[in-house]
C-alpha cells in the first residue's frame, strides 16, 4: 500500500511544472465541486444550478463508492468503502480532472476543501475555494467542539473502518443552529456512510501541504459557528501559506455552521465566491 501511494503522488507530481509565481488571472469557465465526508455529489445540486446560470460548466464527481442516493448507500454499504484513504480520493479526482478540456476552478467543502489544497499544490486547478476545509498535516485545534465532533470518526480504537453517523452527531457537528427536525430532513436526504481511513490518513503524510510553494489563487471560507472545523482553525490554515506572490484570501460568514453550503442563505456564500472569481479576470 505504501508503495502504491508513493507511485500515485509521484505520477501526479511528475506531470506538473511550477513557475516562480503563479498567474492570478482566471478566465476558465469550468468548475469542479468536491464534496466532503458523509456527503456525495447530491449536496452540490443547487450550487451547480447557481453557477451554471452564471455561465460555468459544472461537475461534481463522487469519491469512490459514494455515488447514489443517501438512503440506499446507508442501507447497502459497499464492503470496500472502509479501505478508502485520502490518497485514493485525490487519485480519483486527478483522473477526473485529467479528462476535462480545461484546467478547472476547484470548490471544495470540508475534506473537499483539503482536497482542493492538495490539487492546487499539484497544479491541477486555476483557482481554489476551500469552504470549512479540513486541516492538513500540522494544522490543529484544541477547541472542545473540534475534538468532540471529530473523535467519533477518527478514533483509532474504533475497529470498524466504516462510520455511519447518528442524527445527533450530525446535528452537533454540521447543523448546530438548526432544530433536530430540520437536521433529520437534511440527514435523510444527504448523509452517507464514510471511511474512517480518509480522515485518519489526511492528518498524516497524505495530507501534507507545502505552504511555501507558489500556487494558484486560493480563497478560504469559514463559518463563525462551525463546530467540527472552527473558524479559527480555518484561519490558521489560511495563514500558513507563505508565498507573497500568490493570492490567498480569507472570509468568515457570521452565523454559519459546517452546513454552510446547505444552510439557509447559502446563495450569499455562492455570490461571494462568484464575485471573488470575477475579480480574478
**Sequence spans of domains, the chain:** 27-278
Closest CA to 167 of 181, 177, 157: 181
Per the model's pLDDT, the better-predicted residue between 196 and 16 turns out to be 196
CA distance 163 to 194: 5
Please give the average per-residue pLDDT across 205-218, as a whole number: 98
List the grid coordinates of 142.
484544541
**pLDDT level of residue 23 (50, 70, 90 thresholds):** low
pTM of the model: 0.92
- Which pLDDT does position 19 carry in this prediction? 43
- Which pLDDT does position 25 carry in this prediction? 83
List the grid coordinates of 195.
471511511
- Which pLDDT does position 142 carry in this prediction? 87
Superfamily of domain 27-278: Alpha/Beta hydrolase fold, catalytic domain (3.40.50.1820)
Per the model's pLDDT, the better-predicted residue between 156 and 221 turns out to be 221
Predicted confidence (pLDDT) at residue 81 exceeds the cutoff of 70: yes
Please give the average per-residue pLDDT across 183-210, as a whole number: 97
Per the model's pLDDT, the better-predicted residue between 266 and 12 turns out to be 266
Task: Give pLDDT tens digits for 38-58.
Answer: 999 999 999 999 999 999 999
Please give the average per-residue pLDDT across 218-240, as a whole number: 98
Cβ-proximal residues to 219 (8 Å cutoff; 6+ apart), any chain: 127, 128, 129, 130, 248, 249, 250, 251, 273, 276
- Which pLDDT does position 20 carry in this prediction? 36
Per the model's pLDDT, the better-predicted residue between 19 and 223 turns out to be 223
Per the model's pLDDT, the better-predicted residue between 6 and 90 turns out to be 90
Predicted confidence (pLDDT) at residue 26 exceeds the cutoff of 60: yes
- Which pLDDT does position 46 carry in this prediction? 98
Predicted confidence (pLDDT) at residue 17 exceeds the cutoff of 80: no
CA distance 116 to 93: 10
Choose the weakest-confidence range: 4-13, 202-211, 257-266. 4-13
Task: Give pLDDT tens digits for 107-154.
Answer: 999 999 999 999 999 999 999 999 999 999 999 998 999 999 999 899
Closest CA to 261 of 273, 250, 275: 273
Predicted confidence (pLDDT) at residue 165 exceeds the cutoff of 60: yes
**pLDDT level of residue 11 (50, 70, 90 thresholds):** very low
Please give the average per-residue pLDDT across 192-219, as a whole number: 97
Predicted confidence (pLDDT) at residue 233 exceeds the cutoff of 70: yes
Predicted confidence (pLDDT) at residue 280 exceeds the cutoff of 50: yes
- Which pLDDT does position 146 carry in this prediction? 94
List the grid coordinates of 245.
506572490
Amino acid at each position: 500500500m505504501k508503495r502504491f501511494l508513493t507511485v500515485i503522488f509521484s505520477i501526479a507530481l511528475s506531470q506538473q511544472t511550477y513557475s516562480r509565481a503563479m498567474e492570478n488571472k482566471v478566465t476558465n469557465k469550468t468548475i469542479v465541486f468536491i464534496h466532503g465526508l458523509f456527503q456525495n455529489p447530491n449536496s452540490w445540486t443547487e450550487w451547480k444550478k447557481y453557477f451554471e446560470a452564471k455561465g460555468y460548466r459544472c461537475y461534481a464527481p463522487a469519491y469512490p463508492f459514494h455515488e447514489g442516493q443517501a438512503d440506499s448507500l446507508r442501507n447497502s454499504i459497499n464492503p470496500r468503502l472502509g479501505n478508502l484513504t485520502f490518497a485514493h480520493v485525490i487519485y480519483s479526482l486527478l483522473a477526473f480532472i485529467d479528462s476535462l478540456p480545461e484546467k478547472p476552478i476547484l470548490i471544495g467543502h470540508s475534506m473537499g476543501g483539503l482536497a482542493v489544497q492538495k490539487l492546487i499544490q499539484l497544479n491541477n486547478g486555476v483557482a481554489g475555494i476551500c469552504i470549512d476545509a479540513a486541516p492538513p498535516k500540522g494544522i490543529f485545534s484544541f477547541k472542545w467542539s473540534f475534538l468532540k465532533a471529530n473523535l467519533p470518526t477518527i478514533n483509532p480504537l474504533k475497529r470498524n473502518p466504516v462510520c455511519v453517523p447518528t442524527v445527533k452527531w450530525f446535528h452537533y457537528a454540521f447543523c448546530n443552529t438548526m432544530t433536530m427536525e430540520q437536521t433529520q430532513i437534511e440527514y435523510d436526504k444527504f448523509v452517507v456512510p464514510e471511511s474512517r481511513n480518509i480522515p485518519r490518513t489526511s492528518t498524516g503524510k497524505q495530507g501534507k501541504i507545502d505552504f511555501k510553494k507558489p500556487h494558484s489563487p486560493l480563497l478560504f471560507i469559514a463559518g463563525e459557528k462551525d463546530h467540527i472545523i472552527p473558524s479559527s482553525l480555518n484561519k490558521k490554515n489560511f495563514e500558513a501559506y507563505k508565498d507573497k506572490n500568490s493570492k490567498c484570501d480569507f472570509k468568515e460568514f457570521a452565523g454559519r455552521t459546517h452546513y454552510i453550503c446547505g444552510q439557509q442563505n447559502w446563495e450569499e456564500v455562492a455570490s461571494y465566491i462568484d464575485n471573488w472569481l470575477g475579480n480574478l479576470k
